Amino acid sequence: MRRKFVAGNWKMHGNLVDNDALLTGILAGIGEVRAEVAVCVPFPYLAQAKAKLAGSKVAWGAQNLSQHAKGAYTGEVSALMLNDFECKYVIVGHSERRALYGESDAIVAEKYAAAQTAGLVPILCVGETLEEREAGITEQVVGRQLDAVLNKSGVISFANAVIAYEPVWAIGTGKTATPEQAQAVHAFIRAKIRALDAEVAEHLVIQYGGSVKASNAAELFAQPDIDGGLIGGASLNAEEFLAICRAA
Ligand code: 13P
């Protein structure tokens, strides 16, 4: 059976005081959680996450990285810098990065490769906009996003990666995809990987993201191809996040 994996994406939220309380709350309840759990925090709080979570059941990671190893890239953070903070995971290609910061499929593929080269596990985000869903091109869009990475890093790279299917229309909107809608796209993603490597597809963790809450997590995670979640807003509250983790 595949492992279940729930990750919090804090986005641009938090401060030293609130983070401490949130992480303390998560650690207090993590004993009852069977799933693997991680938090992806803003860069300035990686040291805090490491200090607080080292030796616990909760892993930590970043929300972005540069595709470059080093150089004159003001404001950017490299994979090796993330290694200094012992990150396990890094989110790559989040729809907010794609939409607000111009990250193309090609850039996302470079970032994914840069993460893996440094030994980080990329959480590759894919997903369609509402317009694309209504135009009936969801699979085309998700397929294209996956192809960019497959062409650059190969299917075997997914032995050390996680995919998060996050329909853009469900992110931060309170509009969750129905379990059936999500499962259909998850099955499509797994079938696409299976066509290239059945073994990799079988073990690949595919998270769902987009308005996951304690109240809808269990029915989403019960779907055969949904292996956990990438949680935004609800990951900022320890009790809510733990309830989601327990549902996985
Ligand atoms: P919400 O859970 O706030 O909808 O965000 C989902 C997301 O973007 C996680 O990466």
Q: What is the domain partition of the chain in residue ranges?
A: 5-247
Quick check: is 186 catalytic? no
> Distance, CA 152 to ligand 1 centroid (Å)?
27
What's residue 163's pLDDT?
99
> Distance, CA 232 to ligand 1 centroid (Å)?
3
Question: By the 8 A CB rule, do 207 and 229 touch?
Answer: yes
> Distance, CA 217 to ligand 1 centroid (Å)?
13
User: 97-140 pLDDT, tens per residue?
Assistant: 999 999 999 999 999 999 999 999 999 999 999 999 999 999 99
Place of tokens 């797994």: 190
Q: Among 71, 217, 226, which residue's Cα sits nearest to residue 162?
A: 226
Quick check: is 166 catalytic? yes
Q: Closest ligand 1 atom to the C-alpha of 212?
A: 2
Listed range (58-67, 146-155, 173-182) with the worst mean pLDDT: 173-182
What six digits make up the tokens of 77? 């953070």
What six digits make up the tokens of 98? 């794609």
Question: By the 8 A CB rule, do 43 and 243 touch?
Answer: no
User: 3-56 pLDDT, tens per residue?
Assistant: 999 999 999 999 999 999 999 999 999 999 999 999 999 999 999 999 999 999
> In CATH, which superfamily holds the domain spanning 5-247?
Aldolase class I (3.20.20.70)
From 96, 132, 166, 240, active-site residue:
166
Is the whole model's pTM more than 0.85, yes or no?
Answer: yes
Q: Above 90 in pLDDT, residue 182? A: yes
- In three-state form (DSSP H/G/I as H, E/B as E, the rest C), the secondary structure along 65-113 is CCCCCCCCCCCCCCHHHHHHCCCCEEEECCHHHHHHCCCCHHHHHHHHH
